[in-house]
Amino acid sequence: MRTTNNVILQTSIKILLFFIVLYSVYIFTAGHYYPGGGFIGGLMTAGAIVLLLIAYDIKTVAKILPVNYRILTAVGLIFAIGTSAGALLFNVPFLTHAFGHVVIPVLGDISLHTATLFDLGVYFVVVGVTMTIIQTIGEDE
Amino acid sequence: MNAIIEFLIGFFILVGALLSLVAAFGVIRLPDVYTRNHAASKSATLGVMCILLGAFLYFYHLEGHFNSRLILGFVFLFMTSPVAGHLISRAAYHSGVPLWNKSVRDDLKRDMKKASAGNKDDLKKNNKKKALVSK
């Protein structure tokens, strides 16, 4: 454990992390109608985790977020392939996406698109790859 | 009412640009890292916040578009920029960047000396205690 006095950095990051993660989720979900999407949403989430790594130890962050980022990358790829290959079940070409409006009791009319699931795959892959690169560089001591 | 809001938009954006310019002059003209950091982190923060406020008012007034991202950026900048300035100054001090030759006080140096002396005293006491226990 490092014993430097990082109170200001750690306290500010505790508050700022919520803003950054919220904004990255916003960018991810708004990607269909506004600038944004899986890639920069994933990069921003990875940036939030990197901020945690700057303020705390690599071991503390592994305790806060017990995620194996290599598995996260694999899950993302499975999402991307699964949503693309799912089109084959309906006798349409690979990568054909479906779109529709769904009325959900509390949230009301929502337009849902299977491309969002593909984008979720991109999001997971970007978070997983970025964090794998940074952790493997950071762990060499 | 329109004229007042349009005046405010122009006022905020011009004041923000002016403050950013003042920050740039400060960074060029001030003598050492700490005073430069003081100029850059305070004046530039307020300048950019004024410009963001002007942009927010412009879109809200003329296009009726409430852009919450600008407000979020406003709050975010207000919280991060001073912390960044603090960390840069601290890193500079601990890596031994000298103060301006005309500065007269260095309280941090005195306090750090005191703290390290205190640690040494504690170590001595602990060693004495250990010695007593082992006897």
Residue B77 to chain A, least CA–CA distance (Å):
10
Phi, psi at residue B106, to the nearest 5°?
-140, 80
Contact B86, A8 (CB under 8 A): yes
Residue B83 to chain A, least CA–CA distance (Å):
7
pLDDT of residue B99: 87
pLDDT of residue B105: 81
Band the pLDDT of B130: cuts 50, 70, 90: low
Chain B within 8 Å of A21 (Cβ-Cβ)? no
Considering only alpha carbons, which residue of chain A is nearest residue B77? A16
Task: Give the whole-angstrom CA distance, residue A137 versus residue A111.
Answer: 41
Residue B4 to chain A, least CA–CA distance (Å):
32
Model confidence pLDDT, tens digit, residues B78-106: 999 999 999 999 999 989 888 888 888 88
pLDDT of residue B129: 63
Band the pLDDT of B109: cuts 50, 70, 90: confident
Which of A1 and A9 is assigned the larger pLDDT? A9
Q: Which chain A residues contact residue B65 at CB under 8 A?
A: none
Q: pTM of whole model > 0.90?
A: no
| Helix pair angle (B2-29, B33-62), 10° resolution | 160
Chain A within 8 Å of B103 (Cβ-Cβ)? no
Band the pLDDT of B115: cuts 50, 70, 90: confident
Q: Which chain A residues contact residue B76 at CB under 8 A?
A: 16, 19
Band the pLDDT of A50: cuts 50, 70, 90: very high
pLDDT of residue A52: 92
Please check the confidence at residue B72 and state whether its pLDDT lies above 80: yes
Asked if the ipTM is above 0.90, the reply is: no
